[in-house]
Amino acid sequence: MKFEFSRNAENDLVSLQESLQKRILNKLEFFEKSNNPLTFAKQLKGTLNRFSFRVGDYRIIVAKQEKGTYVILVILKIGHRREVYDKL
């Protein structure tokens, strides 16, 4: 599985402090290297293909897209847990 950033997620990441950006990118790299990154995620209620990864008080919202036998996790939104679930 591979992670890809949406334009909104890139903007979300850039707006965070540099130390937090590095922490999130390191965690994404860790998830990507695992056999199944979704074992670290929680499925969002009411959805079939959206998941949330936890990095401290921040959440990474992804959508699972299957292209043949290959799975891509598109990062939709990155934000503080208080705000990230609004307007999904």
Q: Evaluate whether residue 74 is within a structural domain.
A: yes
Query: What's the pTM value of the predicted model, to 2 decimals?
Result: 0.92
CATH number, domain with residue 55: 3.30.2310.20
Distance CA 71, CA 40 (A): 16
| Domain contains 49 | yes
DSSP 56: T
Q: Is residue 21 one of the residues assigned to a domain?
A: yes
- Predicted confidence (pLDDT) per residue in 2-26, tens digit: 899 999 999 999 999 999 999 999 9
| Predicted local distance difference test score (pLDDT) of residue 69 | 83
Taking a C-beta distance cutoff of 8 angstroms, is the pair 76, 9 a contact?
yes
Helix (H) / strand (E) containing 71: strand 70-80
pLDDT tens per residue across span 51-85: 999 999 999 999 999 888 888 999 999 999 999 98
Q: Give the pLDDT mean for 30-51.
A: 93
Segments forming the whole domain that contains residue 10 = 2-80
* 61 contacts 78 by C-beta, under 8 angstroms: yes
Number of domains in the chain: 1
Q: Answer yes or no: is 85 within a domain.
A: no
How far is Cα 34 from Cα 43, in angstroms, rounded to an integer? 18
Would residue 67 count as lying in a domain?
Answer: yes
